[in-house]
Amino acid sequence: MSERAAPFFCPYCGDEDLRPNEEGHGAWECAACNRAFTLKFLGLLARGVQRNDGGGEQI
Q: State the Cα–Cα distance between residues 47 and 29, nearest whole angstrom.
A: 34
Bridge-based pairing of strands 36-38 and 27-30 is antiparallel
* pLDDT tens digits along 3-42: 567 889 999 999 999 999 998 888 999 999 999 999 888 8
User: What pLDDT shows up at residue 1?
Assistant: 43
User: What pLDDT shows up at residue 49?
Assistant: 65
Higher pLDDT, 50 or 30: 30
Answer whether residue 54 shows pLDDT above 60: yes
User: What pLDDT shows up at residue 59?
Assistant: 66
